[in-house]
Amino acid sequence: MEESLAAARGRQRADLASDLSTFIRFPIIAGIIVSALEIELAMAHLDADHLGALGGWALGAGIGLFLAGTIAAIRRGSGLRVAVRQARDRRRQDQSRAGLCQAELIPMTA
Residue-wise pLDDT for 22-66, tens only, equals 778 888 899 999 888 888 887 887 777 777 777 778 888 889 999
**25-28, Cβ contacts within 8 angstroms, sequence gap of 24 or more:** 25/69, 25/73, 26/69, 27/65, 27/66, 27/68, 27/69, 27/72, 28/65, 28/66, 28/69, 28/70, 28/73
Residue 4 pLDDT > 60, yes or no?
Answer: yes
Query: How far is the C-alpha of 27 from the C-alpha of 69, rounded, in Å?
Result: 5
> Cβ(29)–Cβ(73) under 8 Å?
no
- Map residue 46 onto helix, strand or coil: coil
Q: What is the pLDDT of residue 80?
A: 60
Q: Kindly state the percentage of the chain with pLDDT values over 90.
A: 6
The predicted model scores a pTM of: 0.59
